[in-house]
Structure formats: structure tokens, C-alpha cells
Amino acid sequence: MMQGDTEGKRRKGEGKKFDTRVDFTPMVDMIMLLLTFFMLATTLSKPQTMEIAMPAKDTPKDKGDVAKESDAVTIYLGADNKIYYFLGIPEPETPNFLKETDFSATGLRKLLMDKNIRVVTQVNELKDQKTRLQISQEEYDQKVKELKGSPNTPVVVIKPLDNSNYDNLVSALDEMLIASVGKYAIADLDANDEKMLINSNVQFNVVD
């Protein structure tokens, strides 16, 4: 009896065990509400688009539409990330007429920056004014657009060769934005282009 009573007392003195498991099921509705709130309240990033001027087959020869020869820059995207270019009027019969550069900061970018230095300088000034809240984003965009389309700004013609790659074209378009070039187009090779490339020892076909 004494032994049984002792065991009974011990059992009575022991603390009650509680179930410590937390049920998160009611939290599901709250999580869904929070997700919905943030999805609706957060501004989704808009995809950036780039306007590319494609040359028309039948372009009118109006004086106002023809760019000055001194403002023209023609670049060829070649193999091994190389770029070949000339300024102004093409000279298909001249040996080694094309010059060579690359995608480095001292290559194509410097070429375009030097050619478009007036616009680049004014765009940087507008950026500074926008940073100082002296002009709004809308005013900045409008003034930059007017600058890029103003007279005496370079017109760049991009001609990818068959042995170039898509990344080269994307990089060239990026350089147009960095150098604030507003007038550029992607075009195919013509007979004069092929003659210049041959006379400058530039391979422009895919070699098997």
C-alpha cells in the first residue's frame, strides 16, 4: 500500500504535458493577402524598348532628308568582335580604305563620342539639371530627343557581316545609346560594300 501510494503521489505531482505544435494553417490566408497586396501595390518594371531606324528601299532624295556626307559613319560588324568603318563618302577602289576598331571604351565608343561630342556634352548637362531637380523627367526626355534629332549630328549605318554574331549587333546598338546617337540604321551589304571589304582584306562570309 505504501509503495502504491507513493507512486500515485508522484504521478499527481508531475506537470501536465502540453502539445507544443503550432498550427500554421490559419496563416495561409494572411500570406495570400499579403502577396496579393504587394503584387498590386508594387510598380512592375516596364521593358525598355529601343527604336531602330530601318532604311526604306525607296527613300526620297529630298535635300532635307539626305544627311551630310561629313556626318555619315558606316560600320561593319565582323568576325572575332572586330569592327571596320569609314567616315563620309565610300571609296570602293581605294586599297585598305576601311579602318579597324573594336568594342572597347577606346574603340567604337570613342569614335562615336568624338563624332557626337556636342550632343554628348549637352546631354550630360541635362542629366545634371535633372539630378538637381531643375528639370523634370518629361522635360529631360523631350530635350534629349530634340538634341539627337538636330542637324549636323552623325548618322550611323550599321552593316553586320555574315561572320558576325548577334551579340555584336546588340553591343553596337548599346554604343549608340551611350554616345547619344539618335540617327542610326541597320542595312545590308551592297556591291560597293563588298568591293571595299575585299580591297581591305576583310573576310565577310562564313568560312566552313
CA distance 176 to 180: 6
Q: Are residues 71 and 97 in the same domain?
A: yes
Query: Model confidence at 78, in pLDDT bands (50, 70, 90)?
Result: very high
Contact 93, 199 (CB under 8 A): yes
Q: Are residues 74 and 144 in the same domain?
A: no
The answer to whether residue 20 scores a pLDDT higher than 90 is: no
Looking at residue 65, its pLDDT comes to 44
Question: What is the rounded average pLDDT for all residues in the chain?
Answer: 81
Q: Are residues 131 and 184 in the same domain?
A: no
Evaluate whether residue 33 is within a structural domain.
Answer: no
Question: Residue 47 — left, alpha, or beta (φ > 0 → left; ψ -120 to 50 → alpha)?
Answer: beta
Q: Are residues 91 and 140 in the same domain?
A: no
C-alpha pair distances (Å), 139 with each of 129, 134, 156: 10, 10, 26
The answer to whether residue 56 scores a pLDDT higher than 60 is: no
Q: Please state, as a whole number, how many other Cβ atoms lie within 10 Å of the Cβ of residue 8.
A: 10
Cell of 195: 568591293
Using one digit for the tens of pLDDT, what is the confidence trace for 138-172? 999 999 999 998 888 999 999 999 999 999 999 99
Looking at residue 28, its pLDDT comes to 73
The answer to whether residue 35 scores a pLDDT higher than 50 is: yes
Rounded to 5 degrees, φ, ψ at 186 are -105, 125
Evaluate whether residue 57 is within a structural domain.
Answer: no
Residue 98 sits in which domain range?
67-116+153-208
Evaluate whether residue 99 is within a structural domain.
Answer: yes
Contact 165, 32 (CB under 8 A): no
**Cell 546631354 sits at which residue?**
123
Evaluate whether residue 36 is within a structural domain.
Answer: no
The answer to whether residue 63 scores a pLDDT higher than 50 is: no
Q: Are residues 108 and 164 in the same domain?
A: yes
Judged by average pLDDT, the poorest of 24-28, 57-61, 149-153, 160-164 is 57-61
Evaluate whether residue 6 is within a structural domain.
Answer: no
Please give the single-letter amino acid code of residue 85: Y
Q: Are residues 127 and 91 in the same domain?
A: no
Q: What is the pTM of this model?
A: 0.68
Percentage of the chain lying above the pLDDT 70 cut? 75
Q: Are residues 146 and 161 in the same domain?
A: no
Evaluate whether residue 183 is within a structural domain.
Answer: yes
CATH no. for residue 100? 3.30.420
Q: Are residues 176 and 189 in the same domain?
A: yes
CA distance 196 to 192: 6
Query: Stretch 22-48: mean pLDDT, rounded?
Result: 70
Contact 139, 129 (CB under 8 A): no
Burial grade of 164 (CB within 10 A; 0-12, 13-18, 19 or more):
buried
Query: Stretch 38-55: mean pLDDT, rounded?
Result: 57
For the chain, the domain total comes to: 2
Q: Are residues 200 and 137 in the same domain?
A: no
Q: Are residues 107 and 130 in the same domain?
A: no
